[in-house]
Amino acid sequence: GAVVSQHPSRVICKSGTSVKIECRSLDFQATTMFWYRQFPKKSLMLMATSNEGSKATYEQGVEKDKFLINHASLTLSTLTVTSAHPEDSSFYICSAWVQNTEAFFGQGTRLTVV
């Protein structure tokens, strides 16, 4: 199946700094990329939907200035957590999707803010 590469898999950062997470579709072009956040023992919570070349659509309650999403090409989307705080510590997962077909997920990024 198709491969989605998410990097880094783990990151520890100091409070107040920014962290960038990359999501790449390696062997296909994705119409849309989704960013999810997952709390311990919970299902995935959709944060935002991004389409190449346009602004991301954020879910209610997700701060767009805090979680900056850039979708520069059909194979790359980035999520930047700005001015990170300990409450931003979580598991973040991206997904790449060609509309109405199968969705493929990255391996996730464990963010710890200290």
Partner 1 sequence: KQEVTQIPAALSVPEGENLVLNCSFTDSAIYNLQWFRQDPGKGLTSLLLIQSSQREQTSGRLNASLDKSSGRSTLYIAASQPGDSATYLCAVSAGNQFYFGTGTSLTVIP
Binding stretches for partner 1 (CB under 8 A): 1, 6, 31-32, 34, 41-44, 46, 49, 51, 91, 93, 95, 97, 99-108, 110
Of 39 and 83, which has the nearer Cβ to partner 1? 39
How are beta strands 10-13 and 109-113 bridged, if at all? parallel
Of 10 and 83, which has the nearer Cβ to partner 1? 10
Are residues 34 and 94 in contact, defined by beta-carbon separation less than 8 angstroms? Answer: yes
Q: How far is the CB of 10 from partner 1 (least distance, A)?
A: 9
Please list the residues that pair with 109 across neighbouring strands: 92
For residues 57 and 44, give the distance between their C-alpha atoms in angstroms, rounded to a whole number. 17
Of 100 and 114, which has the nearer Cβ to partner 1? 100
Rg, C-alpha atoms of the chain? 13
